[in-house]
Amino acid sequence: MTTFDEIFAQAGADLINEIGVPVTFVPLAGLPVTCVAYLDTEEDLQPVGFESTGAAQVSTIRYLISQIGRTAERGEYFIIGGIQYTVESIEENGDKDGIVKVVVK
């Protein structure tokens, strides 16, 4: 029997594959990996937390951990459409649904 978590993870993977674009992930060590990812840019409260006085534009990338084999680390980067997006922090590590969300700059 398929669990809710498995259904949710498959739906997330299907969504990334449908709306994502081809990307090259460049690790600090090793060879670059081609995968599919979704780039999102939104306004986010700064500083992060409950007490905020301003907003800043924040870009995040979501990708399937199965395509890279692990969670990206700070300093590694993705190339999308010729633009380099460097990983600043990990927002979601993919342990529940297989989708990693990293904040990039």
Could you report the per-residue pLDDT of 49-69, keeping only the tens digit for each? 566 566 778 999 999 999 999
pLDDT at 52: 57
Q: Are 72 and 88 in contact (CB under 8 A)?
A: no
Q: What CATH number does residue 86 fall under?
A: 2.40.10
Domain that holds residue 30: 4-104
Question: Rounded to the nearest 5 degrees, what angle is found at the Cα of 84, between the Cα atoms of 69 and 75?
Answer: 55
Instruction: Supply the pTM of this predicted model.
Output: 0.81
What total of structural domains would you count in the chain? Answer: 1
pLDDT above 90 for 13: no
